[in-house]
């Protein structure tokens, strides 16, 4: 017996999200929230001399671009409660202030498993982040866990 779902869900492609502009100030607040002090993320002068020639966002900033309605409304749900179970992120290129970032996503996998908290249905969504020049910034596998 396996989890019941419409097979058409697999590889279902979501509408691409509206571009989100990366504001320098948002990167600063992200750094502050994580206690980030590396000057290549926080200090324009120091960052100019660094490997990226200017401020970039910490790599993990890439996972924060999923807030758009187009994303969450499309994630298939099983049961009442959804939790973030894990991520697999490939950081392709640095995200810079002024970038306009879009997210294209599709359903990669749906499977069942049992754990400490009971029966769970896992939904894996694969997203690709691109900037305004159509350059890939990151690939992200979001693993969502659904509980009854």
Partner 1 sequence: MNSFEEINIGDTLGPLELFVSKDQCRAYARTMGMGEGAGRFTDDEAARKEGLPGMIIPGNMSLGLLSKLVTDWIGSSNAWLTRMSTTYRVPVQPDHTVTIHGFITNKNPEDRTAEIDVWMENEESERLVTGTATVEFRK
Partner 2 sequence: MSTILDLHTHSEASEDSRAPVEAYLNWIKLRQAERPIDGIVLTEHRQFNRDADYRHLEDKFGTLVLRASEVETTYGHMLVFGVNDDMVARFDFADVRLDAQILIDEVARMGGIVVPCHPGRPNIGLYEHYQSRPPLQNVVAVEALNGGSRKGEDERSAELIAKHGFAATGGSDSHLVSLIGLCATKFSAYIKTIDDLVRELKTGNYEPVDFRPRRKTVPHAVAMETR
Q: Using an 8 Å Cβ cutoff, are 15 and 70 in contact?
A: yes
71 vs 91: CA distance, rounded Å: 20
Which of the ranges 36-44, 71-79, 98-106, 114-122 carries the binding residues for partner 2, by CB under 8 A? 114-122
DSSP conformation class of 17? P
Task: Determine contact, residues 124/146, Cβ cutoff 8 Å.
Answer: no
What residues does 107 pair with on adjacent strands?
125
Q: Closer to partner 2 at the Cβ: 1 or 33?
A: 1
Look up residue 66 and give its two tokens. Answer: 């999923």
Q: By CB under 8 A, tell whether 7 contacts partner 2.
A: no
Please identify which residue in 25, 35, 73, 116 interacts with partner 2, judged by CB under 8 A: 116
Instruction: Compute the distance between CA of residue 60 and CA of residue 83 in angstroms, rounded to an integer.
Output: 19
Q: Which one among 46, 83, 111, 132 touches partner 2, defined by CB under 8 A?
A: 111
Token pair for residue 75?
């994630």
Number of residues that bind partner 2 (CB under 8 A): 12
Q: Which residues bind partner 1 (CB under 8 A)?
A: 26, 29-30, 32-36, 38-40, 46, 50-51, 58-60, 63-64, 67, 81, 83-92
Q: Which does 2 bind (CB under 5 to 8 A by kind): partner 2, partner 1, none?
A: partner 2
Residues interacting with partner 2, by CB under 8 A?
Answer: 1-2, 86, 111-119
């Amino acid at each position: 017996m396996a989890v019941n779902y419409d097979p058409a869900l697999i590889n279902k492609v979501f509408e691409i999200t509206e571009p989100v502009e990366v504001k320098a100030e948002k990167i600063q607040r992200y750094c502050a929230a994580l206690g980030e002090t590396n000057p290549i993320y926080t200090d324009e002068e120091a960052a100019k001399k660094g490997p990226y020639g200017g401020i970039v966002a910490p790599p993990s900033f890439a996972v924060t671009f999923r807030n758009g309605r187009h994303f969450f409304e499309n994630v298939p749900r099983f049961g009442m409660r959804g939790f973030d179970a894990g991520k697999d992120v490939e950081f392709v290129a640095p995200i810079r202030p002024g970038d306009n970032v879009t997210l294209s996503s599709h359903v990669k996998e749906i499977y069942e498993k049992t754990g400490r908290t009971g029966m769970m249905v896992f939904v894996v969504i694969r997203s690709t982040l691109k900037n305004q020049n159509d350059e890939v910034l990151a690939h992200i596998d979001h693993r969502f866990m659904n509980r009854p």
